[in-house]
Structure 1
Amino acid sequence: MTAVRLTAWARGRVQGVGFRWWTRARALELGLVGWARNTPDGRVEIVAEGSREACASLLELLRGGDAPGRVDGVVERWSEAKGGSAGFVER
């Protein structure tokens, strides 16, 4: 299995509603490593590494409507995994 890196930015009402915690829980269920953090412009940035399938599943969940708050859109970028992460954390 070749690991990939998904970097995603979720916009909407995603800060102060448990979105990062929810994202962390979903990522851990999928066996991903990485982090989620609030950005100054009100979005949440998510960086996840693992199989392409697991990362794509996380992306679907982010867009799926079951996340806390309100997600108005998610933009993603795919790249090669960089490694170095253990677990999935909220920053």
Structure 2
Amino acid sequence: MAKLHAIVKGKVQGVWYRAWAQDLAASMNLSGWVRNLNDGNVETEAYGERAVLETFLEKLYDGPPLARVAEVETAWAESGETPSGFRVRR
């Protein structure tokens, strides 16, 4: 099990990015969370198989139609954790 932590930068708040990421992660059977940050970025942490997380990461660069992703900072780790579900954190 792997863990992907990502900070998505650009025009990613107010464009349904969190809901889109939640739907995407659920469709890929990933667990974790996504939330807005005070600096206008979006943070996400996802758990799953490394290959699936790599596909998830590729899609984070696209985002929903109104988003304009400028950069995605990532950190990878191995994880024994397996949170249930994928949720939007406030």
The verdict on a shared fold, with TM-score over 0.5 as the criterion, is: yes
Q: 2:71 aligns with which of 73, 84, 87?
A: 73
**Runs in 1 of length 4+ with deviation above 3 angstroms?**
none
Matched with 2:39 is 41
Q: Which runs of 5+ in 2 are unaligned?
A: none
Matched with 1:89 is 87
Q: TM-score, normalised by structure 1?
A: 0.90
Q: TM-score, normalised by structure 2?
A: 0.91
Identical positions, percent? 38
Decide whether the 8 Å contact of 1:9 with 1:76 is kept in 2.
yes
Q: 1:50 aligns with which of 48, 54, 72?
A: 48
Residue-pair matches, total? 88
Decide whether the 8 Å contact of 1:5 with 1:82 is kept in 2.
no
Of 73-82 and 21-30, more deviation after overlay is shown by 73-82
Q: CA RMSD in A?
A: 1.2
